[in-house]
Chain A
């Protein structure tokens, strides 16, 4: 029923910091998220790309040092694409993703409370169809828990370097355009 208390407190602390950062990053604001999808405000992309670059560089460095193991989800490409094509439009209408909905709800935004209710009902309904979903959408295309370096032979450092370069020039171009 319970994991050990220290581990639960660790989860609480990690979550507290995560929620704190999301709120300070303004991504618990529905207008900021919808503006990203309208391509008017790239705050969400800036947060996510920086998190991926900083997080990824550190995790791969710690992996090389033998301190951590990766925890990669299997590439069931069909179910991921079908799920994402439902998730993306739903995120536009709700205005939050699951994590930012929890943050907005904690902050006192009442529309997010209703969002959490819908999400809980969604989880209940999905749990009835998981077996069918696995049979229909996961089994057909399963590439296993594969990473881009494993798939392509291109090392992680090159992937992060290329991503960083792209992010640097793209966001600099956006920020300069916004200034002028």
Chain B
């Protein structure tokens, strides 16, 4: 009963969630022999879509060609993240049907575009570099973590972005 109540609660303590993600990373290292990561799955998606329309181009682009096979552990991990968040939201009775404005859509598309450009230049995102890299005490992970924090804080304070 206690467990069911916890699943239905709208949110958990950030420390409990952090510890759970930490234990999940042990699980990933033990079972998949890989750390948690998200952003390279998007390159696999692109390789698959472009492969349908322009297979020769994919073969000629080393970055896309080297990421085969397409459907790997990390690709399914990303699908799982969407399903897990859906389940958690439903259990916590959180409904989100807010229609984004045109301005917000433009912001999201452009933000997403540059987010992925940055993640691929840095060879990893908040998961692969920020959490998985930092927990292994990787120099690459900590440099990434501190740099996104500093540049994000500077951007937010500079533009005094109001949180609605």
Contact = CB atoms under 8 A, between A and B. Distances in A.
Instruction: Place the interface of chain A in its size category.
Output: 35 or more
Nearest to A18: B81
Given A17-B24, A22-B81, A94 B143 contact: no
Interface string A25-39: 111100100110111
Nearest to A22: B85
Contacts of B98: 109-111
Interface in B76-122: 76-89, 92, 94-100, 104-105, 107-122
Contacts, number: 489
A52 interface: yes
Contacts of A90: 111-115, 117-118
Contacts of A112: 108
Given A22-B81, A122-B112, A110 B100 contact: yes
B62 A18 contact: no
B71 A56 contact: no
Interface string A43-65: 10011111111111111101000
Given A1-B71, A127-B46, 17 more contacts: A7-B32, A18-B21, A43-B14, A50-B15, A52-B131, A56-B137, A58-B25, A59-B136, A85-B151, A88-B151, A92-B152, A98-B115, A107-B89, A123-B45, A133-B120, A145-B140, A148-B142
Interface of A: 1-3, 7-28, 31, 34-35, 37-40, 43, 46-60, 62, 67-77, 79-112, 114-128, 130-131, 133, 137, 143, 145-149, 151, 156, 159
